[in-house]
């Protein structure tokens, strides 16, 4: 079992005929992801990925003809919010938005619409998700993964790759790895993904990779303290040396008014039973120290 995606995923790629969309769609297909359709307005009737995937003008056409249930969006920032809304209107249940640079104000009504429809949005500005040996959606490199029982959730793409590679090198596999994105307004939070991991019988340990800015890590820690008491759980927080008021990397990675500091996040996580690493390479040993034997 896995969360969000798996062997039964029927993926629709928005922007499959573009450079980024085609490149990453090939990688997803080669991994084994079931890409059933692409969508690019004006390109309907064409075939993508060497004639293996039909392209449609609209999401509704793609869903009607192929039964797509998951979207992956490689659409420029100006059109990505409407692309998300089109997926929701067509009944897509799970939406990954890889696009970066979407203004926060544009995302506020989009996230509200997604929630009202009962759909799930991952991102924007996220690397996607991988369930090793089953499917990958997005841009996470396939080579870093190993099938296993550790659920990984992260705000950072690059740190995700580093942490997962360290785990794989240590012989520790992952059940599902999810990058939620580092923008101030995103569809799914740490807490949302932790709830999914809690319900997954094949996830036996948790790795959380956070960063400065906001209070998402503290909220997740408070929930985990009550609901994940017996689960081995470790974390890493990036940005410990960042000065107040200066954005570091992601748009959401900024300390403002003394809140969102690395110290406050580490304190909350440790109080909730997380072992907090000083670097991503320490995560495998901390998992062992926490009692994980998978």
Whether residue 220 sits in one domain with residue 111: no
> Residue 65 domain-assigned?
yes
Whether residue 113 sits in one domain with residue 153: no
Nearest in space to 17 (alpha carbons), one of 34, 30, 178, 42:
42
> Residue 130 domain-assigned?
no
CATH number at residue 31: 3.40.50.720
Q: How many CB atoms lie within 10 A of CB 243?
A: 7
Q: How many CB atoms lie within 10 A of CB 20?
A: 15
pTM surpassing 0.85?
yes
Q: Of 90, 122, 154, which residue sits at a domain end? A: 122
> Residue 133 domain-assigned?
no
Q: How far is CA 125 from CA 137, 184, 209, 274, in A?
A: 14, 10, 16, 26
Whether residue 242 sits in one domain with residue 145: yes
> Residue 37 domain-assigned?
yes
CA-to-CA distance for 36 and 55, rounded, in angstroms? 9
Where in the sequence numbering do the catalytic residues fall? 250
Predicted pLDDT of residue 260: 77
Whether residue 206 sits in one domain with residue 85: no
Whether residue 27 sits in one domain with residue 155: no
Q: What is the pLDDT of residues 209-242, one digit of tens each?
A: 999 888 899 999 999 999 999 999 999 998 665 5
> Residue 247 domain-assigned?
yes
Residues of the domain holding 188:
140-289
Domain count, the chain: 2
DSSP 259: B
Q: Is the pLDDT of residue 6 over 60?
A: yes
Whether residue 148 sits in one domain with residue 94: no
CA-to-CA distance for 212 and 8, rounded, in angstroms? 36
- Tell the residue number behind the tokens 């974390």, with chain if given: 235
Return the percentage of the chain with pLDDT > 70, whole number. 93
> Residue 243 domain-assigned?
yes
Whether residue 84 sits in one domain with residue 168: no
Predicted pLDDT of residue 156: 84
DSSP 279: S
Q: Of 89, 122, 155, which residue sits at a domain end? A: 122
Whether residue 271 sits in one domain with residue 145: yes
Q: Is the Cβ–Cβ distance between 89 and 116 less than 8 Å?
A: no
Q: What is the pLDDT of residues 8-21, one digit of tens each?
A: 999 999 999 999 99
Q: Is the Cβ–Cβ distance between 26 and 36 less than 8 Å?
A: no
> Residue 108 domain-assigned?
yes
Whether residue 114 sits in one domain with residue 146: no
């Amino acid at each position: 079992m896995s969360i969000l995606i798996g062997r039964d995923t029927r993926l629709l790629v928005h922007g499959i005929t573009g450079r980024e969309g085609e490149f990453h769609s090939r990688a997803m297909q080669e991994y084994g992801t079931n890409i059933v359709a692409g969508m690019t307005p004006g390109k309907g009737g064409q075939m993508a990925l060497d004639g293996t995937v039909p392209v449609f003008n609209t999401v509704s056409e793609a869903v009607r003809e192929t039964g797509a249930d998951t979207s992956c969006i490689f659409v420029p920032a100006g059109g990505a919010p409407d692309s998300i809304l089109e997926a929701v209107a067509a009944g897509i249940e799970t939406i990954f938005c890889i696009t970066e640079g979407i203004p926060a104000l544009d995302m506020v009504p989009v996230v509200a619409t997604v929630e009202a429809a009962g759909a799930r949005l991952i991102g924007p500005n996220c690397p996607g998700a991988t369930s090793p040996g089953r499917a990958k959606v997005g841009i996470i490199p396939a080579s870093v993964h190993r099938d296993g029982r550790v659920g990984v959730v992260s705000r950072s793409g690059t740190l995700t790759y580093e942490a997962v590679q360290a785990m794989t090198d240590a012989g520790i596999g992952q059940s599902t790895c999810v990058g939620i994105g580092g923008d101030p307004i995103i569809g799914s939070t740490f807490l949302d993904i932790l709830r999914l991991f809690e319900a997954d019988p094949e996830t036996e340990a948790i790795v959380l990779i956070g960063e400065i800015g906001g209070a998402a890590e503290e909220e997740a820690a408070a929930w985990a303290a009550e609901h994940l008491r017996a689960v081995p759980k470790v974390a890493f927080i990036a940005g410990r040396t960042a000065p107040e008021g200066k954005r570091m990397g992601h748009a959401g990675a900024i300390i403002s008014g003394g809140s969102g500091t690395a110290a406050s996040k580490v304190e909350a996580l440790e109080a909730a039973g997380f072992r907090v690493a000083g670097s991503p390479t320490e995560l495998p040993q901390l998992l062992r120290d926490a009692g994980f034997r998978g």
